[in-house]
Amino acid sequence: MKSRNLFVVLILAALAFACNQKPAEQLICGSLKEADFKATIGGKETGLYELKNGELTMAVTNYGGRIVSLLVPGKNGEMADVVLGFPSIDAYLNAKEVFHGALIGRVGNRIAKGKFTLNDVEYTLPINNDPNHLHGGPEGFHNVVWDVKAVNDTSIVLSYLSKDGEMGYPGNLNAEVTYTLTPQNEVKMAYKATTDKSTPVNLTNHAFFNLKGEANGTINDHLLTINADKFTAVDSTLIPFGENVPVEGTPFDFREAKAIGADLALQSENEQLQNGLGYDHNFALNKPVDGEMTLAAIVVEPASGRKMEIFTEEPGIQFYGGNFMDGADTGKYGKTFDYRESFALETQHFPDSPNQPAFPSIILNPGETYSTSSIYRFSVADSQ
């Protein structure tokens, strides 16, 4: 009898242990395992953190401050993971596309030939998008481990000290980013930074979206609206000529909703589409007041009804249509990331701003605080 009772006790203990272990092993409908995100990079520990607000569920890793997963309901309540991501730290480290879901800095977008002059000093940055510097360089903010300052059910605060001279940039920059899931089904991204030496700063997030769900087909049928009368014309290396040109009468006119792919057939005759191999351009947002939080873009996926509205305090937004995806990477559901099956809408200041005097400045000086926010709001579009 004693042995039987002991056996029952052992079974119950084993079951209790297994139940207690489940939350630590599986997150987000069992598709992600916390253990697969535990690593040591540059002497710092990485992890995976889950945020929930009742309808949205988001997973974030402090490796690169990346959004790994974002579950969003459709018109019939069905959930889809609308952000492309990978199942482990190792997969991120070995991915061909290095910016998936990541925080970008010190300077998002391109700096021509990796050079700029500030206070009569010329700075040279590493080239990682020949012939230019892109998204903070090969060891930019996307490729470092951020410190987790605070985390709760709906928000996470990440911080990072970028030391003077890192990737060629001047000054010790203290950066902080807060991701919050709000009661309005928003992903709010709040950025702050201070410096001890004048330096350019342009922070953003590089999530790739498909409102049908990760790797679930083309995004060219998504309906896109961008609140911009002008876009930034670029050369063949995607460096601005220095002016924003009207969208009217061009494939870049998204002032009224249209399918992303509606005008891509014009690529053979449109120089700007040729330069970007499709859409890979900054749009100068219509801003009644500089720095005010305003609507930047709306995306609707007609079949599911999923709708994403983007609001930002930034003056621009970079629209990228998945032109360089080639199936080389496989995501967290075992599907490849293919050509024009994802898009990015990165809130930002304009490309190559340190070298473009006509563009809004991105220089942060000692004693100032860099502060900006962007919001990605999710809902279901009204039936047509």
- In the chain, the largest separation of any two C-alpha atoms, in whole Å, equals 87
Determine the Cα–Cα distance for residues 360 and 285; give it in Å rounded to an integer: 12
Q: Is 325 helix (H, G, I), strand (E, B) or coil?
A: coil
Cα–Cα distance, 276 to 110 (Å, whole number): 13
Residue 383: predicted pLDDT: 64
What pLDDT is attached to residue 31? 80
CA separation for the pair 224, 297 (Å, rounded):
7
Q: Which of 84, 81, 48 is nearest to 64 (CA)?
A: 48
Angstrom distance (rounded) from CA 230 to CA 252: 8
206 is a catalytic site residue: yes
Q: Which two tokens stand for residue 36?
A: 């697969």
Rg (CA), the chain: 22
Question: What is the sign of the dihedral through the CA atoms of 4, 10, 13 and 15?
Answer: negative
pTM for this entry: 0.92
3-state DSSP assignment of residue 258? strand
Residue corresponding to tokens 């991501």? 85
Other Cβ atoms closer than 10 A to 40: 10
Q: Helices in 181-331 by DSSP H: which ranges?
A: 271-276
204 vs 238: CA distance, rounded Å: 18
Q: What is the model's pLDDT at position 311?
A: 98
Q: Which of 133, 142, 206, 349 is catalytic?
A: 206
Does residue 346 carry a catalytic annotation?
Answer: yes
**Is 110 annotated as belonging to a binding site?**
yes
Q: What whole-number distance in Å separates Cα of residue 351 and Cα of residue 135? A: 10
Q: What is the pLDDT of residue 382?
A: 86
Report helix, strand or coil for 129. Answer: strand
Q: What is the pLDDT of residue 15?
A: 33
> What DSSP string runs through 144-163?
SBPEEEEE-SSEEEEEEEE-
Give me the catalytic one of 100, 281, 346, 349.
346
Provide the 3-class DSSP secondary structure of residue 105.
coil
Those residues with Cβ within 8 angstroms of residue 162's Cβ, 6 or more apart along the chain or in another chain:
105, 106, 141, 169, 172, 173, 174, 175
- CB 227 within 8 Å of CB 295: yes
The response to whether 20 counts as a known ligand-binding position is no
How far is the C-alpha of 61 from the C-alpha of 65, rounded, in Å?
6
Q: What stretches in the chain show pLDDT beneath 70? A: 1-30, 383-384
Please state the φ and ψ torsions of residue 277, each to the nearest 5 degrees. 55, 35
Amino acid (1-letter code) at residue 57? T
| Alpha helices for the chain (secondary structure H) | 2-25, 89-93, 271-276
Going from the N-terminus, what domains does the chain have, and what CATH number goes with each?
30-380 (2.70.98.10)
Q: Is 109 annotated as a binding residue?
A: yes
